[in-house]
Structure 1
Amino acid sequence: MFRSIKQWCIGALSTVFVVGAFDGLAQAPDGGALFKAKCSTCHAPHKDGTGPKLFHVRDKWTAGGAKEGSIYQWVANWSAAAAADPYAKQVSNSKPTAMNTFPDLAGKQKEIDAIFDWVDSQPDPNDPANAGAGGASADGSVSATGEVEEDSLSWVWILMGVVFVVIIMAVGGVRRQLRNATKENDGQSVNEELSFSQEFKAWAWKYKRYVGLGGLVITLSLIVSLFLSLYSIGVLEDYQPSQPIEFPHDIHAGKNQIDCKYCHNSVDNGKTAGIPSVNVCMNCHKQIAGNTPEQQEKIAKIYAAAGYDPATMSYSGKTKEIIWNKVHVLPDHVYFNHQQHVVAGQVDCKQCHGDMTKMNETAKVQPVAELNKVEGNVPLTKATLTMGWCIECHAEKEISSGSLDSKGSNYYNEIHNRLLKDRKLYNKFLADKKITVKELGGWECAKCHY
């Protein structure tokens, strides 16, 4: 098989270059990757979720009388499309949650078409014709429920792996032929019947010490890699669900300097920060109806939820629930109390949520790299909302830069008085001129876990 080694090597290398050139020059938009990055949080090809199913959505818009190109504008900025197209306006009222905006897709019809083409290529799991296939596409990217799953290795990497295996085997064949030729020249006997596997076994046995050591290293590396990959399970940095009403924090908390606690009024005395009721919104928006059509449209949803008629300035009593999507979700076995952190610990909201006075986008789980850029934050290294992130903060965050009784709090004065009974321990705490959460028991398991 490997006697024409020159042709094998030339063919293999040519394949690699052709694949590389095709991948580098063609660069056709990957609809599946774009769908997972932009759409899969709320949409599925054949199943309604937070947003409607997207199978043949272009045909649906055309049949509904949408203006040409309206759907592409909708993907980039739904509110602009709703203002320009009656059909888009009708679609915007079909779901209680508002769609996210994707300004990076504005004017990029090719990328949007790639998403829709990929969606339209997915088989319907409810179709009897697809019963045996489990509703999966050719690359296994869709589950039986029509939800998107992680892709396996792309065909390019698989092809390159096969090519490299062929090259390695071809080089091994050359080496074998050269060795046999050398033996023949030296007058030694040559056994042409030995297979590659038999030769490998003989070689491995000859160098068993090195093969065993190499096998141990590879095995340990695989085990370590496996355990390290487990740390990524459940890590949701950058998670950003859509919301029924887009709330610009930079306008409310930044430009208008509304205190966070005005809306999240239970943060000082409760476990959760709380979601403001529509009545809290109406305290201001009863007088503020918005200056632009986009603002007026959003505020109109608040009026609808409150049952308020701005024309007559009266309440009808017919309210409508606003269904907000939760952003920060902790496991059931984890206890977190906002009051304990905000009041006792005096942790600023920006330590965990980022500088909301500068955020126009819908709230999301801020990556730790972004949180570290906020002035005044304790710099951390572990992923946001992970256990490592919490205990690292407890180790770094100081409760007091000095004696605890200087805090002027009865809670800390009591701890201070108790610590005075063990002067050696207290002096140990003050050795670095500060007292951290960890030193006061912040690393005890029962502090955070039931």
Structure 2
Amino acid sequence: MFNKGNKGLFAFVLTLFMLTNFVTSAQEGESIFNSKCATCHVPHKDMTGPKLFEVRQKWEEGGAMEGSLYQWVRNWQVAAATDPYAKEVADWAPSAMTTFADLSDEQIDAVFDYVDAQPLPGAASDAGAAVGAVATNVATEENDFSWIWYVLGVVFLVIIFSVGGVRRQLQELDEDADKHVKVGSKVWIFKNRKYVGMGVLVVVLAGVTWFFVALNDIGIVTGYQPSQPIAFPHDKHAGINGIDCKYCHNSADKSKSAGIPTTNVCMNCHKQIQGEGDQVEKIKNIYKSAGFSPEGGGSYSGETENIVWNKVHNLPDHVYFNHSQHVEVGGIDCKQCHGDMTKQSALPRVVPVEELNEIEGNVQLTRPTLSMGWCIECHNVKEVSTGTLEGKGGYYDEIHKRLLENDESLYEEYLEDGKVTVNELGGWECAKCHY
């Protein structure tokens, strides 16, 4: 019926059709898994629900009734009532699973095909982490130089006793010549009183200058970077995962304080995301704080612990700062003061003004970060709304209105440079920022 050419063509078309069908099925399975299953399940680890890798084989070997697994996906309660094995699965993690009555057997198979195609987590990274841990321990042991302190202590004691003996001998020798030295010193000072006076004046002026320079450094905390209980990677959360700053610091646009995220906020994601490698230990600290155990389907013990974060941007008690006024009304982006956290892999710190100026869109400033001069300089160049901000600029809109009604010439003077800055609306008044 078929010649050789036709047979080859038929085989090629059949193969192409099967590959196309497989790819289409895998794509459909991935789409369904991500939209309906990924909240509670992952292929190779028990989460809120059990791992799904080779689950069809597991149910078959466990003695499940034919078609029971498909019934479980569509309505687990019906499956548990009719199949003893499904009842065992329901008892493993007594949490209500969402029903998916609209899924066909083919779609459920597509999901399982996609899950079974996922590679097992590589052991190479774990082995590398173990080797790294061993290497770190070895390096720590090799770098233990505590014995040096004992040696230095003995050396210092010898030096102290030796200096004491030499001092006594010199004191005895100087007693005889002391009177001659005193007379000679007085004569030299009197003869060179002009130069001595100039020297004393220079020393006094240098001391006064140093004193006032030192006063300018009081309260300057540029580069301050406190330790934290968890090395939180902002670049992964805000950068790679694109989480908005206000999801965790949810009061930044509503309150004076930006707020520190509670453990419950962390658990919104990390109840499912348990991490890999060195991330596991960090996430365990969150579980410990929440009193959560990820084993089985996950459960809460009710025994919680506070995570004590150390504040980075800590202003003096006499300084008033309102996040909502700057974020919501002023429209200031977080990166203006905190830097680009999407690229911040290290612990949070007070970012130097030079680094802040390199960020696109930031107001260019010169004074040290978090200093009074830094705030004043920003208030001098940052403009505020000259019109309605859809309900967000009522405070400034009222000032604009009063200026127009009471002193239009002053208002026009403000607008000579094409903008109205914060200081022109009272942003330099002491009481604005100080109690």
Normalising TM by the smaller chain, what interval?
Answer: 0.5 to 0.7
Task: Considering Cα pairs closer than 8 Å and 6+ residues apart, tell me whether 1 or 2 has the greater RCO.
Answer: 2
- 2:373 paired with 1:388: yes
Inter-CA distance 425–214: structure 2 relative to 1 (3 Å threshold)? farther
Aligned sequence identity (%): 55
Q: Which one of the candidate residues 285, 301, 306 is aligned to 2:290?
A: 306
- Measured after TM superposition, the shift of residue 360 of structure 1 is 0.8
- 2:201 paired with 1:201: no
Inter-CA distance 233–121: structure 2 relative to 1 (3 Å threshold)? farther
Q: Give the helix-richer structure, 1 or 2.
A: 2
* Partner SS for 2:278: helix
Alignment of 1:98-177 (within 5 A): 113=144, 116=146
Cα distance in 2 for residues equivalent to 1:389 and 1:119: 44
Whichever residue aligns with residue 447 of structure 1, its letter is: K
Q: Deviations over 1:97-138 (max 9, x none)?
A: xxxxxxxxx97999x556x46777899xxxxxxxxxxxxx97
Alignment of 1:174-193 (within 5 A): none
Cα distance in 1 for residues equivalent to 2:260 and 2:131: 28
- 2:259 paired with 1:270: no
Q: Which one of the candidate residues 133, 144, 147 is aligned to 1:84?
A: 133
Aligned residues of 2:228 and 2:310 also touching (Cα < 8 A): yes
Q: Which residue of 2 aligns with 1:229?
A: 214
Inter-CA distance 335–198: structure 2 relative to 1 (3 Å threshold)? same
Alignment of 1:11-90 (within 5 A): 84=133
Cα distance in 2 for residues equivalent to 1:223 and 1:109: 49
- 2:225 paired with 1:240: yes
Cα distance in 2 for residues equivalent to 1:276 and 1:239: 21
Inter-CA distance 430–118: structure 2 relative to 1 (3 Å threshold)? farther
Cα distance in 2 for residues equivalent to 1:119 and 1:331: 39
Structure number with greater Rg is 2
- Measured after TM superposition, the shift of residue 259 of structure 1 is 0.5
Cα distance in 2 for residues equivalent to 1:445 and 1:122: 54
- 2:225 paired with 1:255: no
Cα distance in 1 for residues equivalent to 2:255 and 2:213: 36
- After the TM superposition, which of the residue ranges 313-322 and 333-342 deviates more from structure 2? 313-322
- 2:390 paired with 1:405: no
* Partner SS for 1:195: helix
Inter-CA distance 211–427: structure 2 relative to 1 (3 Å threshold)? farther
Inter-CA distance 119–428: structure 2 relative to 1 (3 Å threshold)? farther
Cα distance in 2 for residues equivalent to 1:423 and 1:117: 77
Inter-CA distance 119–272: structure 2 relative to 1 (3 Å threshold)? farther
Question: What is the TM-score normalised by the length of structure 1?
Answer: 0.56
- Measured after TM superposition, the shift of residue 195 of structure 1 is 2.7
- Measured after TM superposition, the shift of residue 411 of structure 1 is 2.6
Q: Deviations over 1:394-438 (max 9, x none)?
A: 1122224xxx12545333321111110211111111111111111
Q: Deviations over 1:271-321 (max 9, x none)?
A: 10001111111111122111x221122112112211222132222222122
